[in-house]
Amino acid sequence: MHTVSIPDFILEANQRRRGRVHALERIDPRRTALLVIDMQHAWLEPGFSMLEIPAARTIVDNINRIAAALRDAGGTVAFTQHAWGDWPEFYDMFTRPGFREDVIPKTAPGTPGHELWKGIRAEPGDLRVVKNRPSAFIQGSSDLDARLRARGIDTLIITGTLTNACCEASARDAAALNYKVIFVGDATATRSDVEHNAALINVMQFVADLWMTDELIGLIGRG
Contact by Cβ (8 Å): 42, 103: yes
Bridging pattern class, strands 155-161 and 180-189? parallel
Q: How far apart are CA 207 and CA 187, in angstroms?
A: 17
- When pLDDT is cut at 50, 70 and 90, the band that residue 87 belongs to is confident
How much is the pLDDT for 100?
87
Query: In the predicted model, what is the mean pLDDT of residues 13-39?
Result: 95
Q: Is residue 208 part of a domain?
A: yes
Query: In the predicted model, what is the mean pLDDT of residues 145-167?
Result: 98
Give me the DSSP letters along 5-57. Answer: ---HHHHHHHHHHHSSS-S-S---GGGEEEEEE--BHHHHSTTS-TT--GGGG
How many Å separate Cα 56 from the centre of its chain? 11
How much is the pLDDT for 79?
98
Q: Please name the residues in contact with 10: beta carbons below 8 A apart, sequence gap of 6 or more.
A: 201, 204, 205
Contact by Cβ (8 Å): 107, 42: yes
How much is the pLDDT for 97?
87
Host H or E run for residue 210: strand 209-211
Q: Is residue 2 part of a domain?
A: no
Q: Is residue 192 part of a domain?
A: yes
Query: In the predicted model, what is the mean pLDDT of residues 25-37?
Result: 97
Q: Name the nearest CA neighbour of 78 among 110, 140, 123.
A: 123
Q: Is residue 3 part of a domain?
A: no
pTM of the model: 0.95
Query: In the predicted model, what is the mean pLDDT of residues 51-65?
Result: 98
Residue 223, pLDDT > 80, answer: no
Question: Average pLDDT of the chain?
Answer: 96
CATH number for position 110: 3.40.50.850
Which tops the pLDDT comparison, 90 or 64? Answer: 64
Least confident stretch, 69-78, 159-168, 214-223: 214-223
Q: Is residue 24 part of a domain?
A: yes
Contact by Cβ (8 Å): 9, 93: no
Q: How far apart are CA 33 and CA 38, in angstroms?
A: 16
Residue 86, pLDDT > 90, answer: no
Q: In the chain, pLDDT over 70 holds for what percent of residues?
A: 100
Q: In the chain, pLDDT over 90 holds for what percent of residues?
A: 91
* The total number of structural domains that make up the chain: 1
How much is the pLDDT for 88?
85
How much is the pLDDT for 204?
96
Structural domain span for residue 197: 8-222
Least confident stretch, 41-55, 78-92, 146-160, 180-194: 78-92
